Structure 1
Amino acid sequence: MRRAARAYAAGEAEGTALVLAEPLSFWGGIDVGTGRIIDHSHPDLDEIVAGRVLVMRSGRGSSSASSVLAETIRRGTGPVAIVLGVADPILTVGALVADRLYRIRCPIIVCPLDGIRTGDVLRVSANASGAAELQLEPQNEEHRTKNA
């Protein structure tokens, strides 16, 4: 399934979706060394964002979150892409800084999130003009059980 999206940070990525129940702040919410969610008030505590396509409604505060996101991207402990329901300038700055300083891209797109589940395979294609596309390969329960 394909859906049109809006690009906020350019790049190409593919990975398994991690759909968060609530927005996450990278500032204090992520262990930079491991990519583990460490915010004890977050319902997805202990999930790992590293190497996954992070899907959430929006980011959650603190302008310092951009530097934390950039550092996780540099270390390889951050998401390979971020899919949001609404634009988040703080996360966008983090991805742009990682691209500029480290030449590592983490595309960020905005599109409807309905139908995306943790475990689905997502392909993100985002260009600098703002055009983007999300390809969604749903993983049904039978497939998830066989491949667990």
Structure 2
Amino acid sequence: MTPHAIQCRKISRGQATGEVIISHDPLSFLGGVDPQTGNIIDREHELYQKNISGKILVIPSGKGSTVGSYVIFQMAKNKTAPLAIIAMEAEPIIATGTIMASIPMVDQPEEDVLEILKEGDLVAVDADSGVIQKMN
């Protein structure tokens, strides 16, 4: 089977391959994610008590305080960060955090990845080329 390739816009360079964790809710890293563990701690969030460490995080967008950028950076230092982030629309907080932390990030996919991808799918993100590939 040929992998399904989706074109998108590069936000933060790099490549990663991993398992998808998906949310239809925007995510705030400040107060929404524990940087020590990578667990979602926002009780109102769809991914509450799930862990985003070492996963390809798929979200509609980020939200919240600019301090969220530093939470992402701290997660990278703690080795609890996602492998890559795919957003329908990047906003400055998460974009800045991924650039500071050297986490690959893309947005504006040409197809609705929130509908195409499912939790547990294996996905390759090539932010340098602006391509997402569903591997399974």
Give the TM-score of the pair, scaled to structure 2.
0.90
Opposite residue 17 of structure 1, the aligned amino acid is V
Figure out how many residues of one structure are paired with residues of the other and give that number.
Answer: 129
- The structure that has the greater radius of gyration is 1
* Offset at residue 73 of structure 1 (A): 1.3
Select which of 80, 84, 87 maps to 1:84. 87
* Offset at residue 21 of structure 1 (A): 2.7
Q: Which runs of 5+ in 2 are unaligned?
A: none
2:104 pairs with 1:107: yes
2:97 pairs with 1:94: yes
The CA distance in 2 between the partners of 1:19 and 1:30, in whole Å, is 15
Sequence identity (%): 32
RMSD: 1.1
Select which of 20, 31, 35 maps to 2:34. 31
Which secondary structure state, in structure 2, belongs to the residue aligned with residue 74 of structure 1? helix
* Offset at residue 137 of structure 1 (A): 2.3
Partner residue, 1:145: none
* Offset at residue 123 of structure 1 (A): 0.4
Partner residue, 1:119: 120
Q: Would you identify which runs of 4 or more consecutive aligned residues in structure 1 move more than 2 Å?
A: none
The CA distance in 2 between the partners of 1:89 and 1:136, in whole Å, is 26
Opposite residue 134 of structure 1, the aligned amino acid is I
The CA distance in 1 between the partners of 2:8 and 2:93, in whole Å, is 19
1:21 and 1:44 in contact (8 A); partners too: no
2:80 pairs with 1:74: no
1:22 and 1:56 in contact (8 A); partners too: yes
Opposite residue 125 of structure 2, the aligned amino acid is V
Q: Which runs of 5+ in 1 are unaligned?
A: 99-104, 139-148
